[in-house]
Amino acid sequence: MENEKPAVSTPSKGFEDFYAIIPAGGTGSRLWPLSRGARPKFLYDLMGSGRTLIQSTFDRLARLAGSDRIVVSTGWRHVAAVEAQLPELKESNVFAEPVPRDSTAAIALATAILARRHGEKIVVGSFAADHVIRGKEAFAEAVRQAVAAARAGYVTTIGIAASRPSTAFGYIHQGRSLAGEIPEAPSARLVERFVEKPDSATAQAYLSTGEYRWNAGMFVMRADVLLEHLREYKPDMYDAISHIADAYMAVDSDADSDEAASEAEIAAAKRTAIETGNGDNGEDGDHADVIGAIGGDDDNDDDSGGAADVDGGNDADAGNEAAIDNEAIDEAMATYWPGIEKIAFDYAVAEPLSVAGGVAMVPGDFGWDDIGDFNSVAALLPSTGTRNIKILGDGDKVVSLDSAGDVVMPLTERTIALLGVNDMVIADTPDALLVAPRARSQEVKDLVAYLERVGCDDIL
């Protein structure tokens, strides 16, 4: 069944100063050959819900922030697909990156632009485009408390309850309660440290203490707090981001001026039409004159009057100005973006700040998965038959005998026949076929790197 699409354009109570950032980057190489550079996993409906991953992310954030307060940072090659999947998203709220520079640059640029548009005291939250979340109310409550902690000056993350000793995720070591300091966030705790993906024994030890949660990469903070820490920890990146954000703001200012000028011209045209139309024509004549003064009706051609010619000239000028504006952003991106350090937000800001006691954590007691590999996909799909075979695609294309525990993706017209095949991944696409043990799902990323080294770029 297709999920309900959001019709919310205003923020919910408690989120009046909250703006959501969706970083939509990466190629999802562990899900190759489904997810590729030209069409990453966030553009797919991997759960059969009727909404793609990025659409589902937009839906849940729109319920909190309102659809007008969501921005997306994505690669330039994905802009058209993102806009097609999210028609509610304002064009000015899509920030295109010419080359990938990881999450710090994406979050920082979006924050810098939002701060210039709406004030530095706003709260921004970053939520990846390709995560699956179950439990809308629990998610909303976690974000609400994270916003409260952010208002108090903390960079705040949402820690996911670790249900198993996973080696696929980083962990957050939680410290003392912050409930006394932040009454609006009774579950918030100080972060002692972030730790990398552990080995199996270490992950089991973390789980047994009850003090560790999975790091889902969700961060909520005041814009001024983030930008100040970025200036402290990554001054070169801060300077580059500031230049690019200033270019965006110059475009915003020009657009606002053009809109105000257009409204003033229309108002003046109406006044002129009314003043000159007060004769024998009466009210109907006045209305016709107003229509004509604004630009004429559909039957008028180029020689129907000066007003139509002037409007045409204004349209041409507006088009030229838009082209110049885009060139200004492109020039700033070309000048500053390629030199920005490629580094994840955890490493650039969250980890060093946690050592200084500046990071809070709110527990997220909702279902979560980052769909990081084929095992993640399998965990979220229903089983086919009694032998735990998971199928993403047309189940009629899969026939199995004495096989169990497989993950099968039939994405061509071919039938996939399994005989004595257990715990394997079979992903069949028109130009590439992957066959691998499920136990090595995390290593598909290494296979993609190998394919790139041997010159198979055309299928990546």
3-state secondary structure 33-57: CCCCCCCCHHHCCCCCCCCCHHHHH
Task: Using alpha carbons, select from 198, 163, 224 the residue that is nearest to residue 363.
Answer: 163
How far apart, in whole angstroms, are the C-alpha atoms of residue 296 and residue 307? 8
Do residues 34 and 24 make contact, with C-beta atoms less than 8 angstroms apart? no
At residue 417, φ and ψ (nearest 5 deg) are -110, 125
Q: Is the dihedral of CA 279, 281, 284, 290 positive or negative?
A: negative
What is the pLDDT, as a whole number, of residue 8? 62
- Give the count of beta carbons closer than 10 Å to the beta carbon of residue 108: 29
E strand map for 53-93: 70-75
Q: Which of 389, 371, 422 is nearest to 134 (CA)?
A: 371
pLDDT of residue 452: 95
- In angstroms, the CA 67 to CA 184 distance is 25
Provide the 10 A C-beta neighbour count for residue 122. Answer: 19
Q: What is the DSSP letter of 185?
A: -
For residues 73 and 244, the answer to whether their CB atoms sit within 8 Å is: no
Strand locations in 109-164 (E):
123-126, 132-134, 155-161
SS3 350: helix
- For residues 238 and 246, give the distance between their C-alpha atoms in angstroms, rounded to a whole number: 12
Q: For the chain of 460 residues, list the mean pLDDT of each consecutive stretch of 10.
A: 55 91 91 93 89 96 95 94 95 92 95 96 96 94 97 96 86 95 96 90 88 93 97 97 94 56 46 43 34 32 37 44 66 94 95 95 93 90 88 93 96 95 96 96 95 95
What is the identity of the amino acid at 10?
T
Q: What is the number of residues in the chain?
A: 460
- pLDDT number for residue 289: 30
pLDDT of residue 93: 96
The per-residue pLDDT for 198 is: 84
* Total Cβ atoms within 10 A of residue 386: 7
Q: Among the residues of 344-427, which ranges form H helices?
A: 345, 351-355, 374-380
Residues in Cβ contact with 287 at an 8 Å cutoff, skipping those fewer than 6 apart: none
Q: Is 245 exposed, middle or buried (0-12, 13-18, 19+ CB in 10 A)?
A: buried
Q: Is the dihedral of CA 450, 454, 456, 460 positive or negative?
A: positive
* Confidence at residue 309, expressed as pLDDT on a 0 to 100 scale: 38
Q: Choose among 192, 186, 147: nearest CA to 171.
A: 192
Look up residue 312 and give its two tokens.
Answer: 């045409």
Looking at the whole model, is its pTM more than 0.85? Answer: no
**Residue that is written with structure tokens 């047994």 in the block:** 208
Local structure of residue 11 (DSSP, 8 states): P
Sign of CA dihedral 122, 126, 132, 133: negative
- Given the DSSP bridges, would you call strands 132-134 and 171-177 parallel, antiparallel or unpaired? unpaired
